[in-house]
Chain A
Amino acid sequence: MIRKVAVVGIGGMFPTCKDIGEFSDKIFAGKSLIREWDEAILHGKKMRSTVSGYISVAESGLEEIPSTLLVNYPEIFKDKLNRIPVENLVTADLGSIWAMLGTQDAIAMSGWSEPEIHSEQTGVVIGSGAGGNEVSRKSWHNFFALDKKTRYLGSHNVDRCMVYRDAANVSCLIQNKGVCECIGSACATGLGNIGYAYRLIAFGLQDRIIAGGTEGTSMESFIGFDAMQVLSRGHEPGKSSRPFDMDRNGFVCSFGAGIVALEAYDIAKARGANILAVIDNYFNNSDGSGDMFAPSNEGQLRLWKGLMGNNKDRLFPDVVKVHGTSTPLGDAIELFSVVNFLGDKGYHISAPKSQFGHMLGAAGAVEFVLAVLMLREQKVSPCLNSDNLNEQPEAFQLEADWNNTKEPIAAYRHLLPQQPIEKEINRIVCLNYGFGSTNSAIAVSKDGL
């Protein structure tokens, strides 16, 4: 039997926001969280793009304490607000600390007892898109370029850079006795971890899980995408992420963390938990196209069919939270696959990256947190900056093998709100995709439907 899964807690770290309350306020006020990034500007003409939804160390309530043995190497991030014990801070990079902070908020909201947190039935599944890039770079620079001995790194290079450091740090913080793992699927990582956690509970392997994604602010992550010429440039910061708009020219590389507390629905209900949302299904697949980067209309249609199965009418969403990165090809393919499967009536499209950019491995998790907020607030977050829609078909729509809609993007203006809107929201589908032609989708709904 597949068990229902409840969302009982949410948390995270969000650019320009002191907490999740301010995040909700800004999102539903239609504000942008994207700024010029001073650190990127410092590198002058080496950088193509300089806008980001970033969170600095200081904004995180942290202080970087430099090593006296190495050049520019953070020995520890000190928590100026005394939220995380020092024993956990020494093993954590910036993204891991954000994951721990988000976990504290999600658990506080969940109402889990200490025995429940420490149970063999409690797991942690959190991932990120990149390794501990910043700590790694500074380590390797000191060893290879500056000829420093390995022991000058101390004992915390590995634990701050290993692939599943975020899950490991959270698990050591909360001392659960169930699974501790991470899923990596590029920009689908955040949703992939939540989806995997959903399956662990739905199939009876765990009763509750802390799940999500985190992506610590890192120039190294930014540089890789800047090199690919895929980042937005030429717009003022608040207008630089513009999914579906004719003038979109790339995504805004951003950073943050989204953490959720999931629990077997019957257990949550029995203890009187405040159930924020119910996960109805999760599905993921691959395009099978052999293309590392290009989105696939066919792959996304199979994704929808896998998610909805024979329950299309029952699970029909009021909102489709799209991946919507603000790249020329990706947005168009995604919109047309949504329309092809759902038709063009009865729902709105939410494109959160229009407000805070693309948080890479955290994107799917932060956007899932936002979906839960949409259910709570009964408001649709907008497709900000989708000012002008192409009234002509995209070039690929004119090709002989294109068997989807021939209508231009402008034909779907009514699906793409330019500002937040209030409406009855019972069901939301969240979509995320990643390099390697991976696709993921989750269906989430209000409790009691």
Chain B
Amino acid sequence: MTREEAKEKIVEILRTVHTINPAKLVNVTEKTDFITDLGAPSTELVNIVAKAEEKFGVEFEDDDIDDIGSTMKETIDLVLKYVNKKQAAN
């Protein structure tokens, strides 16, 4: 999975987060911050992470979630770490 493919799937997740205005999702980049750029409350981050687990079919360790920030780049890094590990195991 490429970073661009991961980003597009994460944007799909963001479209299901009710506190994010969909109009803000047109030009999302890896620098986009879910809180400062998209207006999501910080309490939504765990919701985004949980939905990412479902979307990508992986299960994150609590330590990795504790360290995650609120940017698209950090979320892609987290997702690809687990997706690549899963692919290697297969």
Contact = CB atoms under 8 A, between A and B. Distances in A.
Indicate the member of B43, B47, B51 with the most A CB atoms within 10 Å: B47
A90 B19 contact: yes
Contact of A87 (B41, B50, B65): B41
A155 B51 CA distance: 13
A409 B31 CA distance: 76
B51 A68 contact: yes
A87 B46 contact: no
Contacts of B50: 69, 149, 151-152, 154
Indicate the member of A69, A76, A78, A154 with the most B CB atoms within 10 Å: A154
B51 A75 contact: no
A89 B44 contact: no
B36 interface: no
Contacts of B47: 154-155
Interface in B8-31: 16, 18-19
Interface residues on B, range: 10 to 19
Contacts of B44: 154-155
B67 interface: no
B46 A154 contact: yes
A65 B16 CA distance: 10
A86 interface: yes
A155 B54 CA distance: 17
Given A151-B49, A154-B47, A155-B46, A68 B19 contact: no
Nearest to B65: A151
A155 B18 contact: no
B40 to A, nearest CB: 10
Interface residues on A, range: 10 to 19
The secondary-structure label for the interface of chain A is mixed
Contacts of A78: 18
A65 B15 CA distance: 14
Contacts of A89: 18
A87 B19 CA distance: 6
A154 B47 CA distance: 5
Nearest to A78: B18
B18 A65 contact: yes
Contacts of A65: 18
Contact of A76 (B18, B41, B51): B18
Contacts of A75: 18
Nearest to A68: B54
Interface in B37-90: 41, 43-44, 46-47, 49-51, 54, 65
A424 to B, nearest CB: 51
Given A69-B51, A90-B19, A155-B46, 9 more contacts: A65-B18, A68-B54, A69-B50, A69-B54, A76-B18, A87-B41, A154-B46, A154-B47, A154-B50
12 contacts: A69-B50, A69-B51, A78-B18, A86-B19, A87-B19, A89-B18, A90-B18, A90-B19, A149-B50, A151-B49, A151-B50, A155-B47
Interface of B: 16, 18-19, 41, 43-44, 46-47, 49-51, 54, 65
Nearest 10 CB-CB pairs, A to B? A155-B43, A154-B47, A151-B50, A76-B18, A151-B46, A152-B50, A86-B18, A69-B50, A155-B46, A69-B54
